[in-house]
Amino acid sequence: MYEIGDCIVKPGSGVCVVKDILHLNMSGVDRNRLYYLLVPIEDAKEVIYMPTDTLSSNTRKVMTVDEAWQLIDKIPEVEETWIENDKFREQKYKEAIKSGKPEELVSIIKVIYLRKKKRAQQGKKSTAVDDRYFLLAENYLYAELGYVFCKEKKEVQQLIADSINSKKS
């Protein structure tokens, strides 16, 4: 169970702060059931009510600074699963986004980056599906890392690039 003030990752919403734990007083809602009142850090005007008793297995606490550095350190080793079939590949992208797991987000970012590069070499544009999921995965990953490191998303992107490049040398 989360506590007021905890920061959690809710797939589809990103990093959220638990602002309250309450009973909802709305018609059609079980008034005896407890809910988390979540506010996404990316959109403080949005409010999400999530039942405390049916937490998604994908909802988790935001990673620690140590966990974030461990993730960044293992980015070069994260496997990119290449899938030729467009429908299966998009399904894999959806599953990774829905999972909210940082390693899976890294994996699809890497796959899509390689696909974009390959298509560019062939004189082709990136696909709309690749572009959409690339942006989603980057946004969720960089938002969480940005929160952890107290940095903007662009700074996180540079931090990752610098970390990977320093390990190559």
**Where do the domains of the chain lie?**
7-60, 63-168
Is residue 26 classed as helix, strand or coil in its secondary structure? coil
Amino acid in position 125: K
| Mean pLDDT calculated for residue range 40-63 | 86
Please count the CA atoms within 13 angstroms of the CA of 67 that sit on its side-chain side: 12
Token pair for 111: 């796959």
Dist CA 151 CA 143 (whole Å) = 9
CA distances, 121 to each of 35, 60, 82, 125, 155 (Å): 51, 39, 17, 10, 28
> Which CATH superfamily, name and number, covers 63-168?
CarD-like, C-terminal domain (1.20.58.1290)
pLDDT of residue 37: 95
Lowest-confidence segment of 21-30, 65-74, 110-119 by average pLDDT: 21-30
pLDDT band at residue 57 under the 50/70/90 scheme: low
Radius of gyration in angstroms for the set of CA atoms belonging to the chain, rounded to a whole number: 18
Question: For 82-140, how does the pLDDT look when each residue is reduced to its tens digit (9 = 90+)?
Answer: 788 888 999 999 999 998 899 999 999 999 999 999 999 999 999 999 999 999 999 99
